[in-house]
Amino acid sequence: MISRKSETTIGLRLAVLWMFFSVPVVQAAETIKATMYKPLRCGCCDDYAKYLEQNGFEVEIKSLRSLSQIKRMAGVPQGFEGCHTLMVDGYVVDGLVPVNTINKLLTERPNIKGITLPGMPWGAPGMDSRPKDAPLVSYSFKADSSTTSVYAQD
């Protein structure tokens, strides 16, 4: 025979178990895989890779003596090159593009080849030892075209 105290204890334990197993499991955000082609020794590229990893990316780094062939094959317009080239989910991301702009690209999925932040501007991720002195302007480009248009400003 089970006493009322035992029934209460068993009931309470069952209620706790039910609550534990009925709570939906929150899954971690899916990691975004990217491949970075960078110069052999570039501290800003290494810092940028760490920045991406801190923001949910898994970055495979390939250090090369020259990126000119990679940039040409990726279709980055001449004069709009950044310091490295990132391949992520079917897009080209050239230069120190802020992560919110990359996330915008991956969410909107526009019909473009990629985006680029030309040069190595101060204040960009990886170049943040000095504050930015102007907005960071990322440009979009299409395959087989040298035409660019402003995609985002940070």
Q: Can you tell me the distance from the alpha carbon of 34 to that of 61, in angstroms, rounded to the nearest whole number? A: 9
The reply to whether 6 falls in a domain is: no
pLDDT of residue 10: 45
Q: Can you tell me the distance from the alpha carbon of 75 to that of 139, in angstroms, rounded to the nearest whole number? A: 13
Domain that holds residue 43: 32-153
The reply to whether 27 falls in a domain is: no
Backbone angles phi, psi at 105, to 5 degrees: -60, -45
Instruction: List pLDDT tens digits, range 16-27.
Output: 333 334 333 333
pTM: 0.79
Tally of domains within the chain = 1
pLDDT of residue 3: 52
- Please, is 123 exposed, middle or buried when counting C-beta atoms within 10 Å of its C-beta (0-12, 13-18, 19+)? middle
| CATH number, domain containing residue 75 | 3.40.30
Residue 129: band (very low, low, confident or very high) from pLDDT cuts 50, 70, 90 = confident
List Cα–Cα distances, 71 to 6, 22, 121, in angstroms.
72, 51, 19
The reply to whether 103 falls in a domain is: yes
Q: Is the pLDDT of residue 147 over 50?
A: yes
Residue 41: band (very low, low, confident or very high) from pLDDT cuts 50, 70, 90 = confident
Token pair, residue 100, equals: 């919110």
Average pLDDT of the residues in 87-115: 97
The reply to whether 7 falls in a domain is: no
